[in-house]
Amino acid sequence: MKPLRAASMAGLGVVVMAAGRGTRMRSSRAKVLHRIAGRPMIRYALDLARRVAGHSVAVVVGHQADQVRQAVESVLSGQRDGAPVHLVEQKQQLGTGHAVLQARPVFVSGKGPQPTAYLILNGDTPLLQEATVQDLLRAHRSSGAAVTMLTALLDDPSGYGRVVRRSSSGTHDRASADVVKIVEHRDATPDERAIREINVGTYVVDGGFLFAALDKVEPHNAQGEYYLTDIVDMAVTQGYRVSAMALSNPEEGLGVNTRQQLADAEGVIRRQIRARWLEAGVTMVDPSSTWIEADVVIGQDTTLYPSVTLEGRTVIGDDTTVYSGVRISDCVVGSRVEILDHCVLRESQVDDEAHIGPFVHLRPGVLVRTKAKVGNFVEMKKTDLGEGAKANHLSYLGDATIGKGVNIGAGTITCNYDGVHKHQTVIGDHVFIGSDTQLVAPVTIGAGTVIAAGTTVTQDVPSDSLVIARVQQVNRAGWAAKRRVLLSNEGSSSSKLSKGRKVSAALSAKKKKR
């Protein structure tokens, strides 16, 4: 066998293949854009690539190239470290071999040193761990092989490329037989389909060998595609060594081609995320029903009750309790906060020791300050609720700035929308707002003012005032008793409606006489 120069990983170029459509997903969205634990699938391969690359990373995009490019750029914009990333377009998706060829200009530009080896990653293998890839790179360095590939032994290998081995004695025994080729499921004979060792789609390939070999790949197979996997056969034919490393945990090799595999990958990643937070000191009353996305951060001694969903860039402080059925998306929640059951919180901030819920909806742009309380069927949007303020029952608070210690009575509504524009409501510190108040914006209530229950506020109010705006109350003594008598005198013959009309007429006639 021809030995190859052991590659230094400082010169490792990485290719991530993400141009395929993902037909088996039956989706209008490119496969690598499907989300797993809140991240687009492509991010898993991309993050790994950036961590291990010594040279640059090339991401091959094609199907829905603009959307995939955007997703990649949005991941990169949130990262400071990692190898430089170049996007290359595979205009027609002619197969994985053709995809990798498109990356050649990134590495073979004539300027600067070229990679001594390439790591090639499928964009649809999100469970692959960095430690495994590092092991593969080490194996490649020490073996002097032209191709070092990752394999997995599966009980059900269907759909995957099979690893065909042969020893001089003609056996297929993994320990003693060398890899001779990879055969795709669709091209495999019944004997080859019985092979349980599959190609994971992760390869380290010698820098001098890769593109020269890819130039010679031909689309002679069931799909009429240029298969990257053909370089294995080629290396063997040219007298180079192909070495294979089997995954100790085959789960890592899961390739996501279908919705079922997407759900399987999601399940594994969610379990890993939960394990990480349990380890970090978070209590989960029922871990299996607790959904935590990959970018969420949770403080120590925080308790999550069953069926809690934490999404996006949510950050939760220490010793906070989140009860059942709560969904928190892209929020910053402080420490020692209590969030009672069935709340939805989106793009908002809740400061330390605040109380939220049950049944609260915080729409984007809410700030609930320290020790403030929001409860029982309150909806808020773009509102700053001051320190220690309370809005505990059945309110809508939108486009409002509410001062410290304010009491928002039950059923208070900020009438912020006139059908065309949104307007602001400003409420000073320590204002007391009685129940069933409407604040017709734009309106400013001075600090310390008391608003009587049932008031509709349409004008600004100075500080320390009483505001009352309701219809004058009238009490008519004995009215109801008389009505009862009249009703019983009307007898049972007339209908309820005509009886009621006659009694009302009689009562108002008496009123006029008085």
Q: Shortest distance, CB of residue 407 to ligand UD1, whole angstroms?
A: 57
- Interface with ligand UD1 includes 49 (CB under 6 A)? no
Among the listed residues 88, 112, 94, 130, the one whose alpha carbon sits nearest the alpha carbon of residue 20: 94
**388 — alpha (psi -120 to 50), left (phi > 0) or beta?**
left
Total residues binding ligand UD1 (CB under 6 A):
31
**x-marked contacts with Mg ion along 235-264 as a string, rule CB under 5 A:** --------------------x-x-------
Cβ-closest residue to Mg ion?
Answer: 255
Which amino acid is present at 332?
V
Which of residues 44, 107, 118, 160 is near ligand UD1 by CB under 6 A? 160
- Interface with ligand UD1 includes 44 (CB under 6 A)? no
Total residues binding Mg ion (CB under 5 A):
3
Signed CA dihedral, 220, 224, 225, 229: sign only: negative
Residue 266 contact partner, candidates ligand UD1, Mg ion, none, CB within 5 to 8 A by sort of partner: none
Cβ-based nearer residue to Mg ion, 255 or 375: 255
**405 — alpha (psi -120 to 50), left (phi > 0) or beta?**
left
Q: Shortest distance, CB of residue 35 to ligand UD1, whole angstroms?
A: 15
What token pair was written down for 185?
Answer: 């499921």
What token pair was written down for 39?
Answer: 């991240």
Q: How far apart are CA 202 and CA 189, in angstroms?
A: 24
Q: How far apart are CA 330 and CA 345, in angstroms?
A: 8
Residue 102 contact partner, candidates Mg ion, ligand UD1, none, CB within 5 to 8 A by sort of partner: none
Cβ-based nearer residue to ligand UD1, 230 or 330: 230
Contact between residue 16 and residue 121 where contact means Cβ atoms under 8 Å apart = yes
Q: Shortest distance, CB of residue 6 to ligand UD1, whole angstroms?
A: 26
Q: Exactly one of 86, 185, 393, 423 is catalytic; which is it?
A: 393
> Has 393 been annotated as catalytic?
yes
Q: Shortest distance, CB of residue 14 to Mg ion, whole angstroms?
A: 18
Which of residues 64, 199, 290, 348 is near ligand UD1 by CB under 6 A? 199
Q: How far apart are CA 95 and CA 186, in angstroms?
A: 14
Contacts of 403 (CB under 8 A, 6+ apart): 386, 389, 427, 428, 429, 430, 431, 447
Angle at 94 between CA 159 and CA 47, to 5 degrees: 70
- Interface with Mg ion includes 124 (CB under 5 A)? yes
Q: Shortest distance, CB of residue 167 to ligand UD1, whole angstroms?
A: 22
Residue 357 contact partner, candidates Mg ion, ligand UD1, none, CB within 5 to 8 A by sort of partner: none
Among the listed residues 192, 198, 204, the one whose alpha carbon sits nearest the alpha carbon of residue 247: 198
Cβ-based nearer residue to ligand UD1, 99 or 467: 99
Q: How far apart are CA 219 and CA 62, in angstroms?
A: 19
Q: Shortest distance, CB of residue 24 to ligand UD1, whole angstroms?
A: 8
Catalytic site positions: 393
**Which residues contribute to the site for Mg ion (CB under 5 A)?**
124, 255, 257
Contact set with ligand UD1 (CB under 6 A) = 17-20, 32, 60, 62, 90, 93-96, 98-99, 122-125, 160-161, 182, 184, 198-201, 227-229, 255, 257
